[in-house]
Each structure stands twice: as C-alpha cells, then as structure tokens.
Amino acid sequence: MNRAIILLLLSMLCLPILPTSASGFEAPIYGGGTFKLSDYRGKVVVLIFSQPTCSHCKKFIPLLADAWRTDPELSSGRYIVAVAMYSPSNPQAILPAFRSYNPPSSWILLTVSWSHLLHFGVKYTATVVIIDPSGNLFAKIEPEDVPYIPDMVSVTVEKVKEAYHRPVDLEVDIPSRVQVGEPLVVSGTATGVNSVRIVLVSPDGVKGEYSAMVSSGHFQISLTLSEPGEWIVRVIAGSTVEERRVRAEIPSEVHFRVLYGEHDREAASILGLEAIRSGDELPDGDLIILGGPKANELAARLNEELGIVVNINGSRGIIKVGGRVWRFQVEYGRSDYALIASLERDGRRIVLGEGLTRFGTRAAAIKIADGGIDGITIIRWMDDNGNGEVDPEEVEVIFRGSWP
C-alpha cells in the first residue's frame, strides 16, 4: 500500500485533520465545469481520492471499475462515481492515470486541491468517501483499515449499496392546508441521518429543494407556498421518502357556526360566533362542534365515523385518533385535556373541540379562537392560579399533527 504525499505533508506541517463533512463540497471537473454534491441529491455519490503515483490506486480502482461494469445495480444510475485526482506538481499526469484505471464511461474525473482533501480528512490514497442520497456522509473507507485490495473492493460495493437501501425511521408532520403566503412548517423525526431533504412541487410542477438539519433526532423547516392550489411535499432521508399533499388557499373570511353540547354554551360564547344547541343532524356550512360525545350527539356521531374516541371514566381519560392513543389523569375543575380536530367534509370545514370534561371544551374553544388550527391538536388545561376558571395562559398545546 502506497502512503500518499498527503501523509508526508501532514506529518511535516503538523496540521490537524478536520472533521469529516459532506456539506458544500465542490471540485473542478477535468476539462471544465464544477462538480457539486448538491446537484446529486437523491443518488449515492462515491468519491475516490487518488494520485497518479499511488500504487494502491493502480490496483484497487481498476478492480472496482470491473465490479461496476458487471453489476447491473451499480450501473443503474443510482450511484455517481467521481475519481478525485490530487497531483499539484504534475497536473499533466492526471488524465493518463485516470484512463489507466479503465473506468466506466459514466465515471467523472475531478482535479482536487489540498482544501478538498482536508474537507473529508483524507490521509491516504485511495480513500473512498460515500455520501448518501440525503447528502450525509455515510462512510469513509481507507486503505489502512482494509489493506487487502479485493476486500476493499467488496467492502466498498457493500457500503455503497447499503447507503442507498438503508432504511431510515422517518416520521413527518405537515399540515394538510395553509394560506398562501403564510409559513408551512414541515417537521418530524429521523434516525441515522444528519439532515433530510425536502422537495416542494408547486401546482404547475415547478420543483424546489431544501435541506433541514437533524438535531437530537428532530428536524423542522418553514416554507412559504406562493400560489393557491395543491402542492406536493416530499421529505427524503436516505432512501426513505414520505410524501404529503398540501392545499394552499387564498386568505378569505370564513363564516363558522357553532353547535355546542349540553353545558357548553359558555365555551361557545368564547368564540363570539353564531351559536346554537347541537342536535344529531349535520347542517350545511362551516361548523365548529363543541363538546365531547357525552354532551354533544353530533360529536358522538362524527367520532364514530372518523374513528375518534374521547372518553373519561372517573379520573382516567383517553383520547384516540386512528392508531394514536393518549391517556390522561384528570382532576375535575383543576386539570383537563381536549382534542381539536380540523377536517374537510363535503366541501366545507368542520372543527371538533372536545374536552374530557366541560373545562377541557372551554380550553379547546380558547385555542380555536386563536386560529391556525389544522389537523389534530391535543391541549392541556391546568388551573395554575386556582380560580376555578379556564384562563388562556393556562392552556397549552401538547401535540400537533396531521390526520393519521
């Protein structure tokens, strides 16, 4: 194995090796143009750092090229290979050295400098750096770790495929509707990646790409939808993709009527809208339905149709929406919880505000009055000041998400 000139320079200059990072890597393409990692999101990028005089490169890279040509998956277009050649003292040797590897026609030749080597902390040639489809540094394979060349070829092929097929636990939270010009908050959790890629497709098919860093497993980014219609939001982590459709609406005044349940007239008054006692029929128009299923027959009917459970037994409460379940301990008149569910049904908006007790329904009305309600929201009320009333500062959102 040939230790590169790079190693000699490092030992002479005593320079630290910088932490590895894939972010922002760019390098000149031999013959013209610029290679940018950001241009290859959605694919696995394989960077092979080489030198014209590297004996290890002369054996390893041709074997890897043979593996590439004989493996249909590797030549499928999912994988981009760039040989990054370092030869500041003899740049004329770069192209002959690259051709001697007998590379596939799709491989790219880069001319790299000292800064490119430091970007990934490269110490030896031939070092292989693998970037996953989200732009995260997936693996770095060095000759000192895998000195036997056939083993290094097999490890490289294995890691490259793993970078594409590796499953990533990804959960996203995206509202189903938003007003044009208002922030669309895309958030969620992802494991095993440093960032996620967000692809935003406008109603007329124009794509935009964004990146959100993952910190402690969580990510969040705020986007603005500039025109009305149905947008597509794709969140990509590795090879895992979650897609949601978001309707952007032109801001307009919405006229809701309130249908309240038994004991919930006070909650309805918080909204300052036309309000009547609820029956069991669903009238026309946009509606806010206040009160849990025991107090409001219409809420009970809709809950059954939508797979919602809001129930209390003594001091134990449960709220269930699809596969999501929340269990609570309730102290009547001192603490309560509520569900707010916003949906579109037969071309009109319906908002359900259901507390485990009447106090939770009042808390739900306060949050509905604040606006910005979409999807599923779980709120908590605690009588912090001890006055027995539901005050706005005592109401807290503990969960906000889309319909399951």
Considering the entire predicted model, what is its pTM?
Answer: 0.49
Number of domains in the chain: 3
Q: Which residues pair with 401 in a beta bridge?
A: 376
Report the C-alpha gap between 264 and 296 in whole angstroms. Answer: 9
**Residue 22: is its pLDDT beyond 70?**
no
**Residue 15: is its pLDDT beyond 80?**
no
Q: β-pairing, 177-179 with 240-249?
A: parallel
Q: Which of 189, 164, 184 is nearest to 174 (CA)?
A: 184
Are 20 and 48 in a shared domain?
A: yes
Rounded to 5 degrees, what are φ and ψ at 299?
Answer: -60, -40
pLDDT tens-digit map of 378-400: 999 999 999 999 999 999 999 98
**Residue 132: is its pLDDT beyond 90?**
no
Average pLDDT over residues 143-170: 90
Tell me what pLDDT residue 167 has: 74
Are 206 and 305 in a shared domain?
A: no
**Degrees, nearest 5: CA angle 301-307-310:** 70
Rounded to 5 degrees, what are φ and ψ at 106?
Answer: -80, -10
Q: Which of 120, 142, 165 is the last residue of a domain?
A: 165
Are 137 and 43 in a shared domain?
A: yes
Are 16 and 154 in a shared domain?
A: yes
Residue 171: both structure tokens together: 């959960």
pLDDT tens-digit map of 26-36: 999 998 999 99
Three-state secondary structure call for residue 270:
coil
In DSSP notation, 253-266 reads ---EEEEE-TT-HH
Are 43 and 139 in a shared domain?
A: yes
Three-state secondary structure call for residue 87:
coil
Report the C-alpha gap between 246 and 79 in whole angstroms. Answer: 31
pLDDT tens-digit map of 194-233: 788 899 999 988 989 898 888 888 999 999 888 888 999 9
State how far the alpha carbon of 72 is from the alpha carbons of 105, 132, 161, 335, 348, in Å. Answer: 15, 19, 12, 62, 51
Are 160 and 78 in a shared domain?
A: yes
Report the C-alpha gap between 68 and 81 in whole angstroms. Answer: 10
> Average pLDDT, whole number, for the chain?
87
Whichever domain contains 27, its CATH number is 3.40.30.10
Are 83 and 161 in a shared domain?
A: yes
Whichever domain contains 264, its CATH number is 3.30.379
Reduced to 3 DSSP states, what percent helix, strand and coil does the chain have, rounded to the nearest 5?
A: 25, 40, 40
Are 235 and 261 in a shared domain?
A: no
Are 295 and 147 in a shared domain?
A: no
Are 55 and 120 in a shared domain?
A: yes
Q: Residue 322's pLDDT band (boundaries 50, 70, 90)? A: confident
Amino acid symbol at 363: A
Strand-by-strand arrangement of the 324-329 sheet: 308-313, 316-321, 324-329
pLDDT tens-digit map of 301-310: 999 999 999 9
Whichever domain contains 243, its CATH number is 2.60.40.10
Residue tagged 């990510």 (tokens) = 219
Q: Which of 135, 165, 195 is the last residue of a domain?
A: 165
Are 320 and 297 in a shared domain?
A: yes
Beta strands in 238-307 (DSSP E): 240-249, 256-260, 275-277, 286-290
Amino acid symbol at 99: R
Are 139 and 26 in a shared domain?
A: yes
Q: Is 271 left (phi over 0), alpha (psi -120 to 50) or beta?
A: alpha
State how far the alpha carbon of 206 is from the alpha carbons of 39, 202, 221, 227, 231, in Å. Answer: 17, 5, 19, 12, 10
Q: Which of 165, 182, 209 is the last residue of a domain?
A: 165
Average pLDDT over residues 152-159: 94
Domain that holds residue 330: 256-401
Q: Residue 178's pLDDT band (boundaries 50, 70, 90)? A: confident
